[in-house]
């Protein structure tokens, strides 16, 4: 089997079940009578990239551009005034962009990946530039994920969780926002370097697989809720329930089932080194973490 780690980058949006995106070959597309809204059904639909490269910012920019093209295409079909300004064939343009993206060669560190309107002949798209940063996958994961952790937790709780992982205590993160949830779990990969986590690491555990939480091994797992889990099943697990707090930078701890553990050596020294960095993130403005669209890391 493949030895590569693949990163999943996903965007969810609510859409009509009867419609699919213009670039997806599907039998779902039906002729919809705009005057009859009684039978419309809306549900979340997920669009994902799988990549060996954790270029999160670039991946999201490409996905958002593709979904913007799809929205404009649908507006044209519905008779929008945009019809006179933009070309009709968005499907070919989107497929061209996807092919260009898939076939792009990754430049050396410091090089740039560039996608612009000349390549796909759509005047609407803004030029997308992504500079290959220094450092390997750990740096890229740290840049995207650790900043999320720093915005949500005060320094003392970050050190507590860091300490717990070193002692191989099982951690369970709970959050409705899948982007925040996966970032919190993946943040431990670079945080533990040069050590490598040997237990289970599952950024988003499907509800159907929650029996994994009873495994007698150390783990770092994320899940969206605890609705189908009893308190006895969570015994001995440190739970970090972000759903308990409507905002980041809350003064109330979201760490429950806290277990008394041995202190890290030189903890005070570590706190003094990290205090300024922690304050620069944790003292940012309040934002919701339970809304899928609210938390963006610049």
Q: What pLDDT is attached to residue 293?
A: 39
pLDDT tens-place string over residues 124-177? 567 888 988 887 788 888 888 998 999 888 899 999 999 999 999 999 999 988
- Pairwise CA distance, residues 186 & 142, whole Å: 8
Dist. CA 279–CA 269, nearest whole Å: 16
Q: What is the rounded CA–CA span in Å between residue 178 and residue 204? A: 7
DSSP class per residue in 164-180: HHHTT--EEEE-S-HHH
Residues 6+ apart with CB under 8 A from 156: 271
In the chain, % of residues over pLDDT 90: 18
CA torsion angle for 187, 50, 5, 188 (degrees, to 10)?
10
Q: What's the mean pLDDT when you consider all of the chain?
A: 79
pLDDT (0 to 100) of residue 161: 93
Quote the pLDDT of residue 125.
61
pLDDT digits (tens, 9 = 90+) for 173-228: 999 888 899 999 999 999 998 899 999 999 999 888 888 888 889 999 999 888 87
């Amino acid at each position: 089997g493949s030895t590569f780690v693949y990163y999943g980058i996903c965007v969810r949006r609510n859409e009509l079940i009867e419609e699919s995106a213009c670039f997806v070959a599907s039998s779902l597309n039906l002729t919809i009578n705009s005057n009859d809204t009684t039978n419309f059904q809306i549900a979340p639909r997920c669009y994902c990239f799988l990549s060996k490269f954790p270029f999160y910012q670039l991946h999201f920019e490409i996905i958002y551009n593709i979904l913007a093209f799809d929205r404009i295409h649908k507006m044209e079909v519905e008779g929008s005034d945009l019809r006179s300004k933009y070309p009709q064939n968005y499907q070919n343009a989107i497929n061209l962009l996807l092919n260009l993206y898939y076939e792009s060669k990754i430049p050396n560190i410091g090089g740039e990946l560039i996608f612009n309107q000349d390549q796909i002949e759509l005047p609407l798209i803004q030029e997308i530039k992504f500079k290959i940063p220094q450092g390997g996958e750990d740096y890229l994961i740290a840049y995207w994920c650790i900043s999320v952790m720093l915005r949500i937790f005060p320094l003392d709780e970050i050190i507590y969780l860091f300490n717990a992982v070193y002692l191989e205590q099982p951690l369970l993160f709970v959050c409705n926002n899948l982007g925040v949830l996966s970032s919190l779990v993946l943040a431990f990969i670079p945080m533990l370097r040069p050590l490598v986590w040997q237990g289970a690491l599952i950024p988003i555990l499907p509800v159907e697989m929650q029996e994994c939480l009873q495994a007698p091994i150390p783990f770092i797992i994320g899940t969206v809720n605890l609705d189908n889990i009893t308190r006895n099943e969570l015994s001995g697990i440190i739970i970090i329930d972000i759903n308990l707090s409507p905002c980041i930078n809350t003064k109330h701890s979201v760490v429950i089932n806290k277990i008394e553990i041995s202190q890290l050596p030189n903890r005070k020294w570590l706190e003094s080194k990290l205090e300024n960095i922690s304050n620069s993130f944790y003292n940012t403005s309040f934002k919701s973490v339970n809304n899928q669209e609210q938390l963006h890391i610049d």
